[in-house]
């Protein structure tokens, strides 16, 4: 698989990464460790070298899983994790409180290094901006960790434009992780132009709309109470019915390209900027192989124009998160 550089940094990663959250958290019961370890090893075999986790996923158990899988092949992989919460045991998404105090960041780094069983974190993101801690102090704490050799690159997640700019002035930000897909394009307004100006990469999470853009869901799809999507406004039957237009658009292009809807959704993201890296998550081997195939799908200028024209007439239905979680973002 081709590699991409995240902005002006020297951090080079596979064009597609693997989001590991769903292996342990948010999408029902944790998966079998051995099966997930095998899946991560298969991802490496397929050319993926970029893996995404966070202390809050579980909490803690996803980092431990990633550490078991990847520390034995450390020289082949780039591992990203995140700080920024007071983790609550068995805490569901949205139940943890923010904490980006410098002393807490350093404690999290030490704990994450142990769980991941590595000597340095390749990319350490602030998971969500903490309004109670000046971003300059946050960037300074990560700068100290970089100087100590415990972290290699600083990242941010779902941060607003001015916050990114202020942080970047203290410690260069290698990458911003934010949701970005054909049905969530708000980053195009301010964030992507800023990232281009400052030379910061974009790591796109939920590039398949939490599974919706694969075409595998319908208005009859139901979610277990342990599945985070059961609480998201965008996954009500009414919203999914309205948003089916996005899937239909992708399916039309997929048919022309002899590809799948998921592959077109990912190829569209890859075609936006050479420094955008989607990190679709999966627990299934066939989905992993399908996603990897997206890196070989070539969308022409005419294809992109066709998608753009059609998408312009579709309005996404439903908020992406409940208000309590959405207000943690800077967008």
Question: Of 7-11, 206-210, 219-223, which gets the smallest average pLDDT?
Answer: 219-223
- Over residues 70-94, the mean pLDDT reads 91
Looking at residue 172, its pLDDT comes to 98
CATH of domain 3-214+273-297: 3.20.20.100
pLDDT at 185 over 70: yes
pLDDT band at 149 (very low <50, low <70, confident <90, very high): very high
Q: State percent of the chain over pLDDT 70.
A: 98
Reading the block at residue 160, the tokens are 């607003």
Q: Is the separation of the CB atoms in 139 and 114 below 8 Å?
A: no
* Peptide bond between residue 59 and the one before it cis (omega within 30 degrees of 0): yes
Mean pLDDT over residues 121-145, rounded? 98
Q: Which residue numbers are catalytic?
A: 57
Residue 301 pLDDT > 90: yes
* Nearest of 120, 111, 159, 115 to residue 138 by alpha carbon: 159
Give me the pLDDT at residue 330, please: 62
SS3 label, residue 155:
strand
Question: What pLDDT sits at residue 188?
Answer: 97
* pLDDT tens digits, 112-130: 999 999 999 999 999 999 9
Give CA separation, 112 vs 37, 74, 116, 181, in Å: 18, 15, 6, 29
Q: Which of 150-154, 220-224, 271-275 has the lowest mean pLDDT?
A: 220-224
pTM of the model: 0.96
């Amino acid at each position: 698989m081709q590699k991409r550089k995240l902005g002006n940094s020297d951090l080079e990663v596979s064009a597609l990464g693997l989001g590991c959250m769903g292996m342990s958290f948010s999408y029902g019961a944790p998966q079998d460790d051995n099966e997930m370890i095998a899946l991560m090893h298969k991802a490496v075999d397929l050319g993926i070298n970029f893996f995404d986790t966070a202390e809050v996923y579980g909490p803690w158990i996803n980092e431990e899983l990633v550490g078991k899988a990847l520390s034995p092949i450390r020289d082949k992989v780039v591992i990203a994790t995140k700080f920024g919460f007071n983790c609550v045991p068995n805490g569901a998404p949205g139940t943890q409180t923010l904490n980006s105090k410098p002393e807490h960041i350093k404690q999290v780094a030490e704990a994450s290094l142990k769980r991941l069983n590595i000597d340095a974190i390749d990319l350490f993101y602030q998971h969500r901006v903490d309004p109670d801690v000046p971003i300059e102090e946050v960037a300074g704490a990560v700068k100290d960790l970089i100087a100590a050799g415990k972290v290699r690159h600083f990242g941010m997640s779902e941060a607003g434009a001015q916050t990114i700019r202020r942080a970047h002035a203290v410690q260069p930000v290698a990458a911003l992780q934010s949701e970005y897909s054909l049905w969530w394009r708000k980053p195009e307004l301010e964030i992507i132009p800023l990232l281009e100006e400052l030379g910061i990469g974009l790591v796109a999470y939920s590039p398949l709309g939490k599974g919706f853009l694969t075409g595998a869901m319908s208005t009859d799809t139901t979610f277990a109470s342990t599945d985070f999507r059961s609480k998201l406004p965008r996954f009500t039957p009414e919203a999914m019915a309205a948003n089916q237009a996005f899937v239909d658009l992708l399916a039309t292009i997929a048919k022309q390209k002899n590809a799948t809807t998921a592959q077109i959704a990912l190829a569209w993201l890859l075609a936006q900027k050479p420094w955008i890296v989607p990190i679709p998550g999966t627990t299934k081997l066939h989905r992993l192989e399908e996603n990897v195939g997206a890196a070989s799908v070539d969308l022409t200028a005419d294809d992109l124009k066709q998608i753009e024209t059609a998408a312009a007439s579709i309005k996404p239905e439903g908020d992406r998160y409940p208000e309590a979680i959405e207000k943690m973002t800077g967008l």
